[in-house]
């Protein structure tokens, strides 16, 4: 369930990441990826860690956080 406040929050949101859901603590329109610092619009947020309480922009960012040596650059 997306608990998004009205249009009053235009900056970075403060979010509590839950299992299969998240709760907006402070209104905003985006969160930042913990790996890439990319802005992630709340309506596009799909990847996060409940244990680390951080968001990720892509599945690759998730792998980089949890398995840093797993992704090797392709020649």
**Bridge-partner residues for 16, per DSSP?**
23
Q: Which of 53, 32, 52, 51 shows the shortest CA–CA distance to 42? A: 32
24-63 per-position pLDDT tens digit? 999 999 999 999 999 999 999 999 999 999 999 999 999 9
**Continuous segment of H or E residues that includes residue 59:** helix 59-66
- pLDDT over 60 (residue 4): no
- Model pTM score: 0.80
Distance CA 35, CA 54 (A): 9
pLDDT score of 3:
47
Segments making up each domain of the chain, as ranges: 2-66
SS3 66: helix
Q: How far from 12 is each of 8, 29, 46, 59, 60, CA to CA, in Å?
A: 12, 6, 16, 21, 22
């Amino acid at each position: 369930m997306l608990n998004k406040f009205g249009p009053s929050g235009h900056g970075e949101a403060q979010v509590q990441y839950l299992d299969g859901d998240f709760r907006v603590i402070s209104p905003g329109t985006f969160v930042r990826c913990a790996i890439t610092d990319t802005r992630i619009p709340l309506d596009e947020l799909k990847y996060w860690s409940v244990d680390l309480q951080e968001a990720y922009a892509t599945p690759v960012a998730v792998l980089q956080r949890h398995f840093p040596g797993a992704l090797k650059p392709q020649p």
